[in-house]
Amino acid sequence: MRWDPSHRSSDLIDRRSQGGGGGGGLLFTLLMLVVRSRWGWAGVIVVLLGYGALQLVGGVAQRAADVDGRGQAGTDEQAAFVGFVLDHAQDSWARKLPGYRRAELVLFRSSTRTACGYGDAATGPFYCPADQRVYIDLSFYDELERRLGAGGDFAQAYVIAHEIGHHVQNLDGTSDQVHRAARSRQRGESGLSVRLELQADCYAGVWAHDAEQNGLLEVGDIGEALTAAAAIGDDRLQRMGSGTVSPETFTHGTSAQRVAWFRRGFERGDPRVCDSFSGAI
């Protein structure tokens, strides 16, 4: 993929130096010491009753750290690449969707605080609708290449574009409709959860179409994205993990489905072809 290594994204936040949990604990401890030193047992009451206070103070500390880290990620090439793809994908959606609100992307190591609870690297990249942020531990890309055989910069770009697809779904209300539906409708190989993920794959393909139109694609890039989509299909991951496939537990779709929906978006370049909620998938 052709990209600008000097690009820096103001929507990229680097928490990698903070370690697991994202900070806030030390500030809370010091605050409790000050309270107890002036008001005695009132400090204990806050400690006993104040889990919300912990979240509040920790949140303030985290937001301050995020301001410090905003736009600073990118001093290493991989982070700079993430920021470039993030901005290009969001610029693309801003042209397509009037009133588009930009998401932020947080780089972290091991675990981090989010508005959706603690995020763990073991879950892979994810989008939190509550704070409209994408979270990525960059070690995931190493796993994608070594364990799943899906290397290359455009495989990495596909992952980011997929998560931004979830942001689009959050903005237009699709995610909320799915999550409010009965659990029985969400589950299974043709359930709403799978359909939501396949639409995000299609949206990633729509962005890839724009990237091609802008002259960013090189020979082999789309092949890398298709390999990555196939690598993280439910059937393939289940077969690798347990040797058996259980369609009733699918959450993201099969390898063939993920490839097909990405290709659909890429070939047409129009988000209107990404209606995975109507008909067969």
Q: Residues 157-193: pLDDT tens digits? A: 999 999 999 999 999 999 999 999 999 999 999 999 9
Alpha-carbon span 52 to 87, nearest angstrom: 34
Task: Report pLDDT for 225.
Answer: 98
Exposure on the CB side of residue 95, measured as CA atoms within 13 A: 10
Task: Report pLDDT for 77.
Answer: 94
Task: Report pLDDT for 18.
Answer: 86
Task: Report pLDDT for 249.
Answer: 97
* Token couple for 63: 């937001």
Q: How far is CA 55 from CA 15, 31, 92, 126, in A?
A: 18, 13, 35, 21
Contact partners, residue 156, CB within 8 Å, separation at least 6:
81, 82, 85, 141, 144
Q: Where are the domains of the chain?
A: 22-69, 77-273
Task: Report pLDDT for 187.
Answer: 96
Alpha-carbon span 169 to 229, nearest angstrom: 19
Alpha-carbon span 109 to 147, nearest angstrom: 19
How remote is the C-alpha of 118 from its chain's centroid?
Answer: 14
What is the pTM for the complete model shown?
0.83
Contact at 8 Å (CB) between 201 and 261?
A: yes
* pLDDT < 50 positions in the chain: 22-61, 64, 68, 72-74
Q: What is the side-by-side order of every strand in the sheet holding 12-14? A: 12-14, 104-107, 133-136, 126-128
Classify strands 133-136 and 104-107 as parallel, antiparallel or unpaired.
Answer: parallel
